[in-house]
C-alpha cells in the first residue's frame, strides 16, 4: 500500500479510458487457460484499490467467465481491460493498457502449472501453481479465473 499511485489507461481505439489507484508497481502474469484464450497469451496485470473511474463506460463490455470472475473489454476495438471479482469492486487492469508502463516491475506468475511449454519468462518471479494461487488469492478476491 505504501507504493500506491494513480494510474490511467485506455483501450486501443480510445473509446474506453480508466483511472484507478494501483496497489503497487507489481505486475503479475496469469498462465491459466481462460486468460490465454481471452488474450491470446498470458494475462499481465496490476492490482488496483477501490473502484476505478471509467469514461466511455458504454463501450465497455463485461463477460462473466466463471463463478467468481468478470472480464471487461472494449466493445469497439476488443481490447482486454480488466478482470474483476464478480459482484465486487475488486479490479485488476491489464498492464498493456496503462498509459505509463515505466514504473512497473514484474514480480509474480500464477497458474504456472497451466503454462504451455512453448514460452517461459526469464524474469525472476514468485511462481505459484493454480492451487497455490487459489489459496493465496481466494481471501483477497484476487483470483483470476
Binding site for Zn ion (CB under 5 A): 11, 13, 15, 30, 32, 35, 74, 76-77, 144
Whichever of 76 and 108 has its CB closer to Zn ion, that residue is: 76
Whichever of 7 and 16 has its CB closer to Zn ion, that residue is: 16
Whichever of 3 and 129 has its CB closer to Zn ion, that residue is: 129
Question: CA 69 from chain center: how many Å?
Answer: 11
- 130, 138 in Cβ contact below 8 A? no
Whichever of 94 and 144 has its CB closer to Zn ion, that residue is: 144
Whichever of 4 and 55 has its CB closer to Zn ion, that residue is: 55
Q: How far is the CB of 56 from Zn ion (least distance, A)?
A: 8
Q: How far is the CB of 39 from Zn ion (least distance, A)?
A: 9
- 116, 33 in Cβ contact below 8 A? no
| DSSP sequence for 25-83 | SEEEEE--HHHHHHHSSPEEEEEEEEEEEEESGGGEEEEE-SSSEEEEEETTT--EEEE
Residue burial 92-117, b: 16+ Cβ < 10 Å; e: rest: bbbbebbeeeeebebebbbbbebbee
Q: How far is the CB of 58 from Zn ion (least distance, A)?
A: 12
Dist. CA 32–CA 141, nearest whole Å: 16
Q: How far is the CB of 28 from Zn ion (least distance, A)?
A: 10
Q: How far is the CB of 30 from Zn ion (least distance, A)?
A: 3
Amino acid at each position: 500500500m505504501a507504493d500506491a499511485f494513480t494510474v490511467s489507461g485506455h483501450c486501443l481505439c480510445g473509446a474506453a479510458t480508466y483511472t484507478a489507484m494501483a496497489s503497487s508497481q507489481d505486475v503479475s502474469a496469469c498462465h491459466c487457460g481462460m486468460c490465454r484464450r481471452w488474450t491470446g497469451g498470458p494475462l499481465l496485470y496490476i492490482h488496483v484499490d477501490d473502484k476505478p473511474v471509467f469514461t466511455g463506460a458504454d463501450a465497455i463490455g463485461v463477460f462473466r467467465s466463471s463463478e467468481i470472475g468478470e472480464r471487461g473489454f472494449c466493445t469497439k476495438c476488443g481490447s482486454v481491460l480488466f478482470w474483476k471479482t464478480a459482484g465486487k469492486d475488486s479490479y485488476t487492469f491489464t498492464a498493456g493498457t496503462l498509459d505509463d508502463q515505466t514504473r512497473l516491475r514484474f514480480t509474480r506468475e500464477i497458474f504456472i502449472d497451466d503454462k504451455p511449454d512453448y514460452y517461459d519468462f526469464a524474469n525472476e518471479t514468485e511462481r505459484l501453481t493454480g492451487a497455490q494461487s487459489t489459496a493465496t488469492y481466494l481471501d483477497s478476491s484476487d483470483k483470476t479465473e
